[in-house]
Amino acid sequence: MSYFITGTDTGVGKTLVSCALLHAFALQSKRVVGFKPVAAGCDDDYHNEDAECLRAASTVAASYGQINPYCFPLAIAPHLSARHAGVCIDFSRILTAYTELAGQADEVVVEGVGGFCVPLNDKQDSADLAQALALPVIVVVGMRLGCLNHALLTLRAIRDSQLKCAGWVANVIDADMPALQQNIEALRERIEAPLLGVIPYQAHPDSRAVAAFLKINLLEYHTP
């Protein structure tokens, strides 16, 4: 049982929701581990903050390199950051790392980078990676002006990739978003997958607390 977590954009709460899912699954006594295949932006030790959060929320003891096989210094588009580092992102390395983690855990939560179609190398993007992993997708919708278009385009891209959306999460990132509930309802009417939870705006969000807002019982494992 694994899921690929994507978002309607960068900075919409993918890591927060990914960690919250790990905590929620762990409360069911499951062995859980987070996986961040590609990260752009790291410290002097070549560790990415989001990947470290996933590692901290995991119950499976895994090395940093297992959880984040590709990490690049510049916090820019991953294919550009990789190019600047003189590296080409190779999916086979990611799939090997994923298989190793999946052999140790009941649930692997795979966090994508950026949005669903962000380029990863000259020919492949995040959608191609989700296809290669053959995982159902959970979409984090950053609730702010413009999210309807971003969310529906993301869902269309998932369908075009012949993948299933297992659910979506409404994460309120604009405390003053006008017509918030109406926007959520508009998405509920148009997205067939279940709404797994609405995360209220939090200046300092905590993934353990956020886990309480998620209804993971609505999740089903979908095969493409």
The mean pLDDT value for 143-161 works out to 97
Cross-strand partners of 199: 171
- CA dihedral for 116, 73, 205, 208, sign (positive or negative): positive
**Active-site annotation, residues:** 36
Q: Select from 107, 43, 111, 113 the least CA-distant residue to 74.
A: 43
Q: Are 114 and 126 in contact (CB under 8 A)?
A: yes
Domain ranges across the chain: 2-218
pLDDT per residue as tens digits for the range 2-54:
999 999 999 999 999 999 999 999 999 999 999 999 999 998 888 999 999 99
pLDDT, residue 158, reads 98
How would CATH label the architecture of 2-218? 3-Layer(aba) Sandwich (3.40)
- Tell me the mean pLDDT in the region 54-60: 98
Rounded to two decimals, what is the model's pTM?
0.95
For the chain, list the strands marked E by DSSP.
2-7, 32-35, 38-40, 70-72, 107-111, 137-143, 165-172, 195-199
Q: What is the DSSP string of 21-44?
A: HHHHHHTTT--EEEE-SEEE---T
